[in-house]
Every structure is written in C-alpha cells, then in structure tokens.
Amino acid sequence: MLEVKQVSKLYENQRGVHSIDFSMSRGEIVGFLGPNGAGKTTTMRMITGYLNPTHGSIAIDGLSMSDHPRKARQKIGYLPETPPLYPEMSVQSYLQFIADLRGIPMKQQKHRIGEVIERLGLQGRERQIMRSLSKGYKQRMGLAQAILHNPDLLILDEPTSGLDPKQIIEIRQLIRELGENHTVLLSTHILPEINTLCNRVLIINQGRIVLDGHPDQLAQSMGETFEVSLEVKGPREAVLAELRSLPQIASVKPLADVLAAAGSAATDSAALAPQPNPDAPEHGVGAEAVPAEPAAGQALSSTVAAEPTVRVLVSATDRVDVREAIFYRMAERRYPILAMRKESLSLEDIFLKLTTNEAIDPNTSGDVASGSLANNSSRLANKSGTTASSDKRGNPNA
Ligand SMILES: Nc1ncnc2c1ncn2[C@@H]1O[C@H](COP(=O)(O)OP(=O)(O)OP(=O)(O)O)[C@@H](O)[C@H]1O
C-alpha cells in the first residue's frame, strides 16, 4: 500500500529525516512514535505530497508520488495536527467545499457527505458553524475531510492531541473503526495509544527509523532472556534449590525474602533478623530478609503460619517460557506460588531506551530496526535495584 524507499529530507541548514525506509500493507494500523523534532511530521508531509523528499522515493499503491502526484494524493486522506477548518463555515457547507476540491461528482456528493456525517457522529450538527464546535467535534471534522473521498491510506498526525479523556476515547474508537476499511499511519506521543490501536509500531529518532515491529513482540525481541518474577511460600533455601535444579533456568536471583507471618517479630525476633544472603554479592540485588509489616500484619500472626515467602527473579536460557515447569515443580513440592509474572520491557522502556542518551549508530541502525538490540543487562540491574528499593519503601522497617 505504501512504499517509502531511502527517503531523506534536508532543510536549509539541517537534516529533517535520513534514509527512511519502510512499507505498509493494506489494512495495517501503524503507530509512528518519536520525541519532539524526530522527523514524524516531515515524514508524513512527504508521504502526503506536501513536501518533496531531497532523496528517495514514495509510492502509494504502486503510484509514484513524484511522477503521479495527483493520482497518488487521491489515495490519501491527511489529518494534520491542526485540522484545516474554516471557522465561519457550517459543517455541511465545509464538507461540500471539500467534496468539490476532491473532485467528487455532484451527483454523489449528497450521499457521500451524508455517509461521512453519520460515520463520524455529526448528525444534527450539519448547520452548526464550525467555530462553535468543541475540540473533539473539530477533530471529527478533521477526520471527516480526510475520509470524504474514501482514500485507501489515512495519515493522522497526533489525532488525539489536546482532547479531553472522553473525547480521546471517542476519537480512538473512530480510528479503530476507520482501520477496518483503511490503512492507517498515525503519529502520537501517547504510548498506550499504540498498544490499544496499532498492530505495528515504528519508532523514529534523530531522523532515523530505530525500531519497527509488533508492539507485543518488541519487548521480547529486545530482551536477552525470558524472565519471571515469582513469590513462593516455603523454606528459602529449598525453594531456591528446586528452582535452580529445573532445566533451562539460567539464573535465580532472590529479590527479597519476606516473612509473611506478621507478628512473629514479637515471638521470634531471631527469625526476623535480616539474614545474610549468599546470592546478594554475586547478583547485586537486595536479597536480605526483610522484617514483616508491623501493626496491621501483627493481627495476622495468630492465623498465618510462620512460613517464609521467597521472592525471586528467574531467567531462562534461550527465551524459553519456564512458567509451567516452575508451576508443576512447586506444586509437586507443595510450595504454594503466591504470585508469578512474566517480566517484559514496556513500550515506554523501549521508547526511552531508543530515544534518550543512547546515540544511534548509523552502522548498526539496521540491526536495531529489526528488533535485535542486544545488551539488556543494565535494565536488569535497574529492575533489581528498583524492586529492592521499592520493597524497602513499602516496608517501614526496612
Ligand atoms: N521547515 C523547516 N525548516 C527547517 N527545519 C525544519 C523544518 N521543519 C522541520 N524542521 C526540522 O526537522 C526536524 C524534524 O522536525 P519534525 O517537525 O518533522 O519533527 P516531529 O517528530 O514531527 O516533531 P514534533 O513531535 O515536535 O512535532 C527538526 O529538527 C525540525 O527542527
């Protein structure tokens, strides 16, 4: 549907985008993410024919934008960040004006405008002057003018920017519906928007595409290992030994050992004293035994057995999903699993990793774009540190 090949844009004294290369298939909803000044708008304006690339080529459905600009543009609907509305016009007269501009035959105009008004929930507002529309309805009008000529490809530049939460939900729902019949490229600064709307994400930084993939697969492709955080009730050393004996377990890192049996401080202070953890120096994570919660927890002391709770981060080799193996082994040994969670990088982690301090090496950006970022160890260190410190924050005695 869309082919962007080796496209660069040089402004007078600086580079807008550099050798952008991607394609989109029919039916995809692609999220275009990047920090301020990364090159999103420049890319979108080139795709829509508003700007000419300095190098490279763009084709819409096989039609070259430079050789057949009119025909290629006919296949595109564009919602710029600020919708191009005329405040003095009414909803109906504005859409008629756009229909004329788009060359929709007179005979079809009434029917098509009616369809679009219904699709975007603008019924009853046909005679309203656009100046008096709310921001959400102005955005609907922006979408209406973008889809009026029934284009195959929709380019939406920050479609929910500046809307209130209710309007955001409504516009997202509209985009989802439009995605059923159109191919959509949308730029946004709102990361959860990508997860809820898009089946693919492109991340651009400093004018280069640094990542391209499915939102769910990105996290996995950027991690070296499959990781599970786990909370198990049972004797600490025995639980650790069982986990370490499982095949395909690369490491078991205790995060903190928490005595669930509150109140045992009063009866068994020795049991609550922080225990040295043989794993702590090796892994550098907070693995000391943390005293139990005071007051509120103490009320539990008469009902909860003084069984320690072991909290660990388990990493598997070759990204193997080890959750079932862990479950069955713990069940076999009668160590109840209180919590088990697959750990992964959030889209926010990925975005920050790719767009903050880490300089993009042009020689390796191809690898990065295919999602094969290798070193992930600093994140692990961070995560362990964060978990350990948040444990302490959550425990006034720590
Ligand atoms: N008309 C222009 N003349 C010169 N430089 C420009 C022009 N338009 C954009 N740029 C520069 O090109 C780079 C990319 O800008 P662009 O507007 O495409 O980024 P963006 O990702 O859309 O940013 P934002 O999220 O802030 O809208 C920036 O460094 C910007 O300053």
pLDDT at 268: 36
Of 160-164, 180-184, 249-253, 304-308, which gets the smallest average pLDDT?
A: 304-308
pLDDT tens per residue, range 219-246? 665 655 678 899 999 999 999 999 999 9
**pLDDT at 350 exceeding the cut of 80:** no
29-33, strands of its sheet edge to edge: 76-79, 153-157, 183-188, 29-33, 200-205, 208-213
- Gap from CA of 9 to ligand 1 centroid (Å): 10
394 Cβ neighbours under 8 A, 6+ residues apart = none
Phi/psi region, residue 31 (left: phi>0; alpha: psi -120 to 50; beta: rest), is beta
* pTM greater than 0.80: no
By three-state DSSP, how is residue 143 classified? helix
Q: Whose CA is nearest to atom 5 of ligand 1?
A: 11
Place of tokens 């084709």: 59
pLDDT tens per residue, range 266-290? 333 333 333 333 333 333 333 333 3
CA distance linking residue 7 with residue 255, whole number of Å:
47
The CATH class given to the 2-221 domain equals: alpha beta
Q: 87 with 131: CB under 8 angstroms?
A: yes
Residues lining ligand 1, CB < 6 A?
Answer: 11, 14, 16, 34, 36-42
Domain spans of the chain, in order of start:
2-221, 224-343+377-394
- Gap from CA of 62 to ligand 1 centroid (Å): 28
Q: 305 with 261: CB under 8 angstroms?
A: yes
270 Cβ neighbours under 8 A, 6+ residues apart = none
Ligand 1 atom at minimal distance to the Cα of residue 15: 12
- Gap from CA of 48 to ligand 1 centroid (Å): 16
pLDDT level of residue 345 (50, 70, 90 thresholds): low
What is the mean pLDDT of the segment spanning 326-344? 92
| H or E stretch covering 337 | strand 337-343
Q: What are phi and psi of 309, to 5 degrees?
A: -110, 125
pLDDT at 218: 67
146: Cα within 13 Å, side-chain hemisphere = 32
Q: Whose CA is nearest to atom 25 of ligand 1?
A: 36
pLDDT at 333: 95
Q: 292 with 264: CB under 8 angstroms?
A: yes
- Gap from CA of 35 to ligand 1 centroid (Å): 11
**pLDDT at 327 exceeding the cut of 80:** yes
